Amino acid sequence: MTVEKQLLYLLSKKPEMEGKELIKIFEAMNYTPQTIRNILSKFKGIAYITSLERGNYKITASGLDVYSLYSKKENFYTKHWNRKWYIVFMEIPEKLRKKRDTFRKGLLDLGFGQLYKGVYVYPWNITSKVLNLIDSLEIEDYITIISSNEFLINGIDPEGEPGPNKASSIWNLEEINTYYKNRQMWLENEYKPIFNKLIKDKNRDPLQVFTNFLTLKEIMDDLIIADPMLPAEFLPSSWLGTTVLFSLDKLMRSLVALIPENSYYYSFVADIRN
């Protein structure tokens, strides 16, 4: 849903956009005009966007809700953990299998780890997002949510401590760290030369700067969804999450600073710059 997510992001930042402006932005990212027209037609058909006049598009309340689901998580590495766990119990019947699978995927995307079959756990309070997911699927009769400051037996084990419930296994931290490592290598070996060239170019095109920003935003969003962003005591010493996210954030802010305030693209990033 990469292009779809980016399109909803753009429409969420402006009261209304012309289709030709959307196409111009995505053409600069190597997408074809027909691809964008197809997505616009699809989104209009399912009421994520509306067209008040031909060629002009506006995001709807439903579209904003969907974008909120795409943008599921904030960067919890900047937060203080209050040592409270949030636990979701689900027992959704087989006749609602599709909803059960959607809910399970939603929990995992939000950062929950599977503790046991039908039991999911997370250290951050995102119950409002879970409740929104439950409400959208109409499955409230099959879900229980509790919060607790302690496990009486078999809690989540900090890194290096023995026990059956290792955070590294529940959240597959090794695989996620490899994902971070690959992105770090891409940033250093492939993207940094492009970035440095753009910084030095006195005649740079604001559209090129903005599409670079969108590319990095997409990568950062994907990493934040993949990473549960656990408190430090549950992470291995080799963890690259905070380092890579910090590097991405720094690069994105540098790009935002290059977009002139009188540029068409400034309003998409003004909240980051201010």
d(CA 92, CA 118): 9
What is the model's pLDDT at position 172?
A: 93
At 66 the pLDDT is: 82
CA distance 59 to 55: 13
pLDDT for the residue numbered 52: 77
pLDDT for position 134? 95
- The two structure tokens encoding residue 49: 């966007």
Query: How confident is the model at residue 161, as a pLDDT?
Result: 83
Tell whether the torsion through CA atoms of 169, 175, 177 and 180 is positive or negative.
negative
pLDDT score, position 70: 66
Q: How confident is the model at residue 177 (pLDDT cuts 50, 70, 90)?
A: very high
Rounded CA-CA distance 208/205 in Å is 5
pLDDT of residue 78: 87
Residue 107 neighbours by CB distance under 10 Å? 21
Could you read off the pLDDT of 179-203 as tens digits, one per residue? 999 999 999 999 999 999 999 999 9
**pLDDT for 171:** 95
Separation CA 69–CA 30 (nearest Å):
26
Q: What pLDDT does 26 receive?
A: 96
Q: What are phi and psi of 49, to 5 degrees?
A: -135, 165
Q: What is the pLDDT of residue 124?
A: 96
- Asked which of 88-92, 144-148, 222-226, 256-260 is least confident by mean pLDDT, the reply is 222-226
- pLDDT-wise least confident of 1-5, 82-86, 249-253, 266-270: 1-5
Largest CA distance in the chain: 63
For residues 170 and 28, what is the distance between their CA atoms, to the nearest angstrom?
40
pLDDT, residue 53, reads 78
* Average pLDDT of the residues of the chain: 93
Rg (CA), the chain: 21
Side-chain-side CA neighbours of 27 within 13 Å: the count stands at 9
How confident is the model at residue 55, as a pLDDT? 86
**Residue 1 pLDDT exceeds 60:** no
Which stretches of the chain are assigned E, i.e. beta strand?
17-18, 49-53, 56-59, 85-90, 113-116, 119-122, 143-148
**Adjacency order of strands within the sheet including 113-116:** 113-116, 119-122, 85-90, 143-148
Length of the chain: 274
**DSSP designation for 5:** H
Instruction: Map residue 166 onto helix, strand or coil.
Output: strand
Query: Is residue 272 within 8 Å of 253, Cβ to Cβ?
Result: yes
Domains and CATH numbers, the chain: 2-70 (1.10.10.10), 76-150 (3.30.70.240), 173-273 (no CATH)
Locate 160 and state its tokens: 């290096």
| 88-144 per-position pLDDT tens digit | 999 999 999 999 999 999 999 899 999 999 999 999 999 998 998 999 899 999 999
Q: What is the pLDDT of residue 74?
A: 80
Q: What is the pLDDT of residues 22-61, one digit of tens each?
A: 999 999 999 999 999 999 999 999 999 999 777 899 999 9
